[in-house]
Amino acid sequence: MKNKKSVIAGLIVLAALIFIGVRVYQLQNDHNQTDRVDKVAQHPRKQTSQANRTIVVFFSRAGQNYPNRDLKVGDTNQIANLITQQTGAKQYRIVPKQAYPYNYQATVKRATREQNENARPKIKNKLPNFKKYDTIFLGYPIWDAHLPMILHTFMIITKQP
């Protein structure tokens, strides 16, 4: 179990590094990155037996974003699509029962309130059976130096530390 925790922690760090790399690339090359990522994600690799035991789990928010960008597909969703395309893994998006506002400042206000109240926002969609997977990639944005509170909900429901 301790080894599994180390693997999951390593994957989270890897996903964070990939996210940072993509963000730097986006800021340097602001040429419809979303369209290119979507095109890549439309052509996934063939599923292998290992890919069938791998899942990309992520929470992402599209809409108005910092600094002054409107996203059709959230940053974490873009990274999840890339990982899915490269690994052939299945994908599960954590969808909040109450959607976050399109407006960036309204989302910041709600996220801050959730953090202050130690809230556990409900997840709208049914969780997959995680016992079927050997490898789980977990992706999420960092909000005010914290993971979004819906990730705490996810960890409680799936009984992860």
Average pLDDT over residues 126-140: 93
Q: What is the mean pLDDT of the chain?
A: 81
pTM of the model: 0.69
CA distance linking residue 102 with residue 31, whole number of Å: 22
Backbone angles phi, psi at 124, to 5 degrees: -75, -45
Res. 31 pLDDT band, cuts 50 70 90: very low
